[in-house]
């Protein structure tokens, strides 16, 4: 009798299905940069910690669609994870645009400290909640630079240029302050638009310029201290994440933080290498300083306040960023 009961129990255990493995697709619009590296390291960290419960697949270079399509995918449940600049989610919530405010971050080390600030992260990660998007990670990408068809050596050189930007009022107004026109465009289209003459340049990070071989098309890039810094937020579909077992959720949150800690020094070094690689390919790297830099910073300082005046909903979020940027300076 006992033997029969034991045999039945053993058979039932054998027949019981194993817990289904979770598959997580992470997309990014770029390749061979900090966003791609973050996704790869997160995948390795989660799979190591989860003991086979999670399989993470990484799709760089818009393989899951452009940023707008991937953002839609987070809400619809067709994409589980996305890493990219928060400003691409201004249509989800206008508060995301605070990340493009110029004049608040002094250097890459400061950017890393702000990205790690607990109070700031809690606020930022909640901006997308109402639209089904949950933030779980934040890293610095690097300072903005300008890769342009003709060299920019002084502020007057920006006059009349059409510069590709993120689709955010913070970026649009910053270009207006320089006498240029900001043209929102996804990363994959920008280089072709510059090559054809449809636009005059792109405002983004040096690591992207090198990864996408901009030096084959343009021969100068300009950087000015006091510009906005680029950050990349790692987001997941909120409904999808909340359906996961509690231990898997915990594993993902811990993995995201662990990757960030190790990635900051790597990102600083990659930005240094990108500047060197740009020069090695025969392109010029211009750093504006002196009176021109001071004038640039003066113009940029008013951007955040002016944007907030036009959209009061952004006010509290922007003031928090100013506060936390000062605290982590």
What ranges do the domains of the chain cover?
20-327
Distance CA(206)–CA(270), nearest Å, equals 9
Residue ranges with strand state E in the chain: 22-27, 54-59, 81-84, 133-143, 145-148, 162-165, 181-184, 201-204, 220-224, 229-237, 284-288
For the domain made up of 20-327, the CATH class stated in words is alpha beta
In this prediction, residues 224-242 reach a mean pLDDT of 98
Q: Read off the pLDDT band of 19 (50, 70, 90).
A: low
Which pLDDT does position 311 carry in this prediction?
Answer: 85
- pLDDT for position 198: 98
Quick one: pLDDT at residue 17? Answer: 41
Percent share of the chain, pLDDT over 70: 94
Flag whether pLDDT at 6 surpasses 90.
no
Q: Report the C-alpha gap between 177 and 180 in whole angstroms.
A: 7
pLDDT at 192 over 70: yes
Q: Convert 136-203 into a string of H (helix), E (strand) and C (coil).
A: EEEEEEEECEEEECCCCCCHHHHCCCEEEECCCHHHHHHHHHCCCEEEECCHHHHHHHHHHCCCCEEE
Q: What percent of the chain has pLDDT over 90?
A: 92
pTM above 0.95? no
Q: What is the pLDDT of residues 307-322, one digit of tens each?
A: 999 888 899 999 999 9
**Which residues make Cβ contacts (< 8 Å) with residue 291, sequence separation at least 6?**
none
Q: How far apart are CA 230 and CA 221, in angstroms?
A: 16
Residue 1: per-residue pLDDT:
41
């Amino acid at each position: 009798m006992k033997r029969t009961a034991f045999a039945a129990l053993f058979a039932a255990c054998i027949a019981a299905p194993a817990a289904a493995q979770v598959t997580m697709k992470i997309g990014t619009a770029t390749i061979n940069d900090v966003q791609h590296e973050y996704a790869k390291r997160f995948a390795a960290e989660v799979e190591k910690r989860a003991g086979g419960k999670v399989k993470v697949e990484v799709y760089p270079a818009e393989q899951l669609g452009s940023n707008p399509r991937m953002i839609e995918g987070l809400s619809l449940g067709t994409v589980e994870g996305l890493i990219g600049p928060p400003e691409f989610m201004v249509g989800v919530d206008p508060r995301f645009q605070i990340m493009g405010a110029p004049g608040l971050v002094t250097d890459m080390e400061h950017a890393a400290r702000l990205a790690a600030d607990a109070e700031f992260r809690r606020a930022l990660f909640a901006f997308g909640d109402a639209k089904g998007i949950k933030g779980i990670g934040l890293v610095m990408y690097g300072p903005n630079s300008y890769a342009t068809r003709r060299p920019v050596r002084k502020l007057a050189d920006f006059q009349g240029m059409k510069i590709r930007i993120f689709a955010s009022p913070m970026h649009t107004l910053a270009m207006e302050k320089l006498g240029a026109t900001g043209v929102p465009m996804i990363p994959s289209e920008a280089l072709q638009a510059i090559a054809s003459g449809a636009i005059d340049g792109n405002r983004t990070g040096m690591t992207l310029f090198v990864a996408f071989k901009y030096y084959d098309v343009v021969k100068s890039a300009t950087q000015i201290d006091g510009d906005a810094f680029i950050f990349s937020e790692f987001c997941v579909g909120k409904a999808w994440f909340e359906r996961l077992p509690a231990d898997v959720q915990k594993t993902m949150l811990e993995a995201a933080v662990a990757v960030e800690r190790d990635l900051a020094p790597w990102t600083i070094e990659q930005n240094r290498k990108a500047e060197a690689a740009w020069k090695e390919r025969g392109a010029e790297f211009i750093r504006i300083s002196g009176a021109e830099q001071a004038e640039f910073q003066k113009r940029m300082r008013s951007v955040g306040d002016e944007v907030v005046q036009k959209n009061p909903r952004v006010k509290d979020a922007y003031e928090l960023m100013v506060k936390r940027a000062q605290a982590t300076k």
